[in-house]
Chains A and B, each alone.
Chain A
């Protein structure tokens, strides 16, 4: 089954404790991206990747890092989480300019 899988789905952590949200897709898509969703602000892009070893900042990259060592994986790293990073995070992938397939979302709370 074609899918985008992200983990964990739910996480409560404390300020400053590094965490990684993993994302994996099995559709051989070149393009992958991370979004955060906050009430009234829609989906804002954090980082995106056009292919292996090619990443670029989205609209709200501050406080986040990503890597793309393999085509299927695109982890999101919060080196020192802060409460303003409490949000719902979505990973997504697509084959170039076309349908974006989203993961199920990861709800993160930073205390």
Chain B
């Protein structure tokens, strides 16, 4: 079945450094790739997403890149701040004729930004 692999599972960086989280997916028909941030005790919330018709999208300190040929996409956070500390999930949609919004999530990355 469809699968999304996410690495690393934990990531610790110094404040001001960059952080990169990578995901690979198996469904070649996937065309929507969101990233969610979950702070401790809170619900996951969308921080950025990308569709397959673009290769990169940026929103202030956050960017996502997509390589459809290799079936992988990455989240880049620059100038990290302590409030970026959270669990980050990547996801890919189930594509093709069964594409109705079903998302498959990666296992999550716990990011710690040290002051």
Contacts from A to B (Cβ < 8 Å): 30-31, 33, 35, 40-45, 48, 50, 58-59, 90, 94, 96-100, 102-105
Which residues of A lie under 8 Å from residue B36 when comparing CB positions?
Answer: 100
**Assembly CA distance A86 to B62 (angstroms):** 34
Contacts from B to A (Cβ < 8 Å): 1, 6, 9, 31-32, 34, 36, 42-46, 49, 89, 93, 99-108
Contact A90 to B49, CB < 8 A, known contacts A31-B100, A50-B100: no
B105 touches A98 (CB 8 A): no
A30-B101, A97-B99, A102-B43 known; 17 new pairs, CB 8 Å cut-off, are: A33-B102, A33-B103, A40-B9, A42-B6, A42-B105, A42-B107, A43-B44, A45-B103, A45-B105, A50-B101, A90-B44, A97-B101, A100-B36, A100-B101, A102-B45, A103-B43, A104-B43
Which residues of B lie under 8 Å from residue A103 when comparing CB positions?
Answer: 43
